[in-house]
Every structure is written in structure tokens, then in C-alpha cells.
């Protein structure tokens, strides 16, 4: 068996945030991804060799402002299926690596551009970060407790959900279209667009009068006692997501409550009192005692795990959701395929370590030395 993207050639212009994550996802699926590093590399929080997000690809070092290096990279583009860049609008063009230049050389190329605001619009020239894209799409306003300020959910939603995941979707869509047309495409991936698509359900609920803009007052934003987190006796937490009546009944059983003696599940007037009641009960045992107690029940109750606890959880272990490679734990490749070779995990490469090998393998312009 082979990997699902074996044979796909991808040029990644080194950056941070969603573009390397998108490249990692393609590399995990078997694509031959070559990361083009600038001299001195990209500023990183950890050394390149220890960054799991840079796994499974080769590295070529090039100064795109140097004509000879530019030509070498463009010769890679000649044989590539995909190019990924995460520069501000116009930056790739100024370097001589814009989509018009690249696709004139290789009309089958899928050129994916990942930005925060997109390639056009009033905000396109400006900087931004995950929290800004959440703010402009209504997502940030919806996250947080009632009466408190909005709370950013790490940088998972815009950078990764609305950025890299949308980029991979666009790339695979363009590759599928290329099978019919023979032509590549330019994919404009804007994180603000991606977050907006993630908000589809909440647009629908709002348009039909089923979602309140007053955060912390809806079913899945912390108002409902059956969809929240609760502190336990040891200061750790459990998460409860018993939205459907069948699971709510199991939750009540586990908490020792008689359904006939508590208010109806969706009686919103009772939610504050039920929150208080649930909280008092959960404070009576340690987190793991509650998890063991609820194990026979289908009540949508799970422990809230710290990152250092994740790898040893029985379900995570059984599925191999966390792997250890090149000396550190990291998330396993996803998704999985029944008829494809299991993912491998090669260590990130020192910038430029594969320059000559890549140029040779891709039939590109040789290096100067």
C-alpha cells in the first residue's frame, strides 16, 4: 500500500502559523513537501529540529532576492503540483514568486495563498492575528461567560480551523478540478472567511431566532447546566455535554438525582439553580472518582485533561492519537485510511539540509557549489 498523497509535490514557502500546518497535513498524508527556508530561517519559539509542526518534509535554503536562488526555486515550481505561501498580499509578487509568474511556467500548479484578511478588501494590507479574525466574524463575541468579556479560545479557530484546514480543503478541491480541466488554480485562503464558514450553525440559529447575542445564555456556551465544566474535590474538572434527553437522564442517574424531583431539562428558568446544584454535587468527589463512577453510564462526561495527561488516557492510547518520534510526543497524523500505509514521522530538517537532494530529485536547476 501507499500513502494517499504519494507522488504529490508541494513547495512550501516558509512562514509561521497556518501555512506550515497546512504543509504538515499534506506531508503527513504522503506528499513530498519541500520547505523553502530563507537564510537565517524563520523566527521560531523552539529550534527547528524540535518543531513537530515541521515534520515529514525536506528543507531547501534560498534567498529569493538573489536571482540565482530565485531561478532554482522557480525550477522546482516547474515540477510541483502545489505551492503554499502565507505572505501578505503582494509580497510573493515582489519576490518574483507570484501566481502569474509561477502558473505561466506551470499551468497545472495549484497556488494556495493563506492570509488573515484575504487578497482584497479594505483590511487586506493590514496585519492581524487569530483573535482579530474571530472578532470580525462574530465568533469572539459569542465565547465567554455571561457578563464577562469575550475569551479567545487559544489560536485554534482562525489560524488552524479557518486557515490551514481551509487551505487543505481548497488545495484538494483544486487538484480534483485539475483532473477534469488539466489546469491548476489560485486558492485565496482568508482566515476571516474560514472562521465565517465555521460559524454557519450560529448564523442559522440567529437568523431563526434561536441564538442570543448575549453570550453565556445559550445551550452550548455555558448557560445550560448539562453543557459545562465542573470543579471537583481535588480542584480538577469534568466536562459535561449531556444535551439530548437520553444522556441527561443518565447524568441525573450518575449524580443521584431523581428526574421526577428536578425541573424539566430545557426549563431555562431553572438553569441557574441546577448549575448550583450540580456544582455542589461534583465538589463531593475527586475528578477521577467521578470518571470511574460514570464509566458504566452514557452521560457524555469526560475528565478535563491537562496536556501532560493526554497521552496516557486509555482511549488516546488505544487509538494511538499521540505518538512519540524524534524524542518528543506529538499528535498523530489524521485522518486515517483503511487502504493506505500508516503514517510515518520523520524529524524536522535543519534549514537547507536537503538542498542538493531536492534539486536532483525534482530535476531542478543545480545549486551553485
261-313: pLDDT as tens digits: 999 999 999 999 999 999 999 999 999 999 999 999 999 999 999 999 999 99
Average model confidence (pLDDT) for the chain? 96
* Whether the predicted pLDDT of 369 surpasses 80: no
The terminus-to-terminus CA distance of the chain in angstroms comes to 38
Taking each helix axis from N to C end, the angle separating 165-181 and 191-198, rounded to the nearest 10 degrees, works out to 100
Q: Which of 26, 178, 190 is nearest to 103 (CA)?
A: 178
Sign of CA dihedral 50, 79, 18, 22: negative
Strands (E), 161-223: 185-190
- Write the CATH number of the domain with boundaries 9-198+333-361: 3.40.50.10540
Contacts of 92 (CB under 8 A, 6+ apart): 13, 85, 98, 99, 113
The arithmetic mean of pLDDT across residues 153-172, rounded, is 97
**Is residue 1 very low, low, confident or very high in pLDDT (cuts 50, 70, 90)?**
confident
Q: How far is CA 151 from CA 132, 145, 156, 157, 215, in A?
A: 12, 8, 13, 12, 11
How buried is 157 (Cβ within 10 angstroms: 0-12 exposed, 13-18 middle, 19+ buried)?
buried
Rounded CA gap, 208 and 369, in Å? Answer: 66
For residue range 236-273, list pLDDT tens digits in order: 999 999 999 999 999 999 999 999 999 999 999 999 99
Boundaries of every domain in the chain:
9-198+333-361, 227-309
> What are residue 12's DSSP bridge partners?
35, 84
**Is residue 348 very low, low, confident or very high in pLDDT (cuts 50, 70, 90)?**
very high
The fraction of the chain above a pLDDT of 90, given in percent, is 94
Residues marked as catalytic = 129, 159
CATH superfamily of 227-309: formyl-coa transferase, domain 3 (3.30.1540.10)
The arithmetic mean of pLDDT across residues 76-80, rounded, is 97
**Is residue 43 very low, low, confident or very high in pLDDT (cuts 50, 70, 90)?**
low
Q: Which three cell numbers stand for residue 134?
A: 474571530
Q: Which three cell numbers stand for residue 321?
A: 492519537
The arithmetic mean of pLDDT across residues 351-355, rounded, is 93
Q: What is the pLDDT of residue 147?
A: 95
Contacts of 102 (CB under 8 A, 6+ apart): 74, 77, 83, 109, 111
Q: Which three cell numbers stand for residue 111?
A: 497556488
* Whether the predicted pLDDT of 72 surpasses 90: yes
The arithmetic mean of pLDDT across residues 60-77, rounded, is 96
Rounded to two decimals, the pTM is 0.95
Rounded CA gap, 313 and 235, in Å? Answer: 19
Q: Which of 172, 164, 140 is nearest to 153 (CA)?
A: 140
Rounded CA gap, 345 and 332, in Å? Answer: 9
- What is the DSSP pairing of strand 237-241 with strand 82-85? unpaired
Rounded CA gap, 54 and 349, in Å? Answer: 8
* Whether the predicted pLDDT of 364 surpasses 90: no
For residue range 111-135, list pLDDT tens digits in order: 999 999 999 999 999 999 999 999 9
Q: How far is CA 68 from CA 355, 366, 369, in A?
A: 14, 10, 12
Rounded CA gap, 25 and 320, in Å? Answer: 17
- What is the DSSP pairing of strand 227-231 with strand 32-37? unpaired
* Whether the predicted pLDDT of 368 surpasses 70: no
Contacts of 184 (CB under 8 A, 6+ apart): 103, 106, 107, 108, 109, 110, 111, 174, 178
Amino acid at each position: 500500500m501507499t500513502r494517499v498523497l504519494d507522488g504529490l509535490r508541494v513547495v512550501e514557502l516558509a512562514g509561521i502559523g497556518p501555512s506550515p500546518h497546512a504543509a504538515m497535513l499534506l506531508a503527513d498524508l504522503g506528499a513530498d513537501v519541500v520547505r523553502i527556508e530563507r537564510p537565517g530561517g524563520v523566527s521560531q519559539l523552539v529550534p527547528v529540529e524540535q518543531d513537530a509542526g515541521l515534520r515529514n518534509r525536506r528543507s531547501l535554503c534560498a534567498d529569493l532576492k538573489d536571482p540565482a536562488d530565485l531561478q532554482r526555486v522557480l525550477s522546482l515550481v516547474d515540477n510541483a503540483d502545489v505551492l503554499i505561501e502565507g505572505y501578505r498580499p503582494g509580497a510573493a509578487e515582489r519576490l518574483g514568486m507570484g501566481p502569474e509568474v509561477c502558473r505561466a511556467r506551470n499551468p497545472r500548479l495549484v497556488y494556495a495563498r493563506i492570509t488573515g484578511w484575504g487578497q482584497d478588501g479594505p483590511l487586506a494590507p493590514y496585519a492581524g492575528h487569530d483573535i482579530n479574525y474571530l472578532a470580525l466574524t462574530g465568533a469572539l463575541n459569542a465565547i465567554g461567560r455571561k457578563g464577562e468579556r469575550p475569551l479567545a479560545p487559544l489560536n485554534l479557530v482562525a489560524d488552524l480551523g479557518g486557515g490551514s484546514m481551509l487551505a487543505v480543503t481548497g488545495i484538494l478541491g483544486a487538484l480534483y478540478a485539475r483532473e477534469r480541466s488539466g489546469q491548476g488554480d489560485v486558492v485565496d485562503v482568508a482566515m476571516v472567511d474560514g472562521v465565517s464558514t465555521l460559524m454557519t450553525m450560529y448564523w442559522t440559529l440567529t437568523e431563526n431566532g434561536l441564538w442570543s447575542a448575549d453570550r453565556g445564555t445559550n445551550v452550548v456556551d455555558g448557560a445550560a447546566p448539562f453543557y459545562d465544566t465542573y470543579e471537583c474535590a481535588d480542584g480538577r474538572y469534568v466536562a459535561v455535554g449531556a444535551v439530548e434527553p437520553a444522556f441527561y437522564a443518565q447524568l441525573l442517574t450518575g449524580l443521584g438525582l431523581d428526574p421526577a424531583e428536578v425541573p424539566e431539562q430545557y426549563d431555562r428558568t431553572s438553569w441557574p439553580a441546577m448549575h448550583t446544584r450540580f456544582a455542589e454535587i461534583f465538589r463531593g468527589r475527586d475528578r477521577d472518582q467521578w470518571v470511574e463512577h460514570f464509566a458504566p453510564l452514557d452521560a457524555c462526561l469526560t475528565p478535563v485533561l491537562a496536556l501532560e495527561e493526554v497521552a496516557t488516557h486509555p482511549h488516546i492510547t488505544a487509538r494511538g492519537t499521540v505518538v512519540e518520534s524524534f524524542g518528543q510526543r506529538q499528535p498523530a497524523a489524521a485522518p486515517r485510511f483503511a487502504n493506505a500505509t500508516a503514517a510515518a514521522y520523520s524529524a524536522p530538517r535543519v534549514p537547507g539540509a536537503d538542498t542538493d537532494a531536492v534539486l536532483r530529485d525534482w530535476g531542478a536547476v543545480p545549486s551553485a557549489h
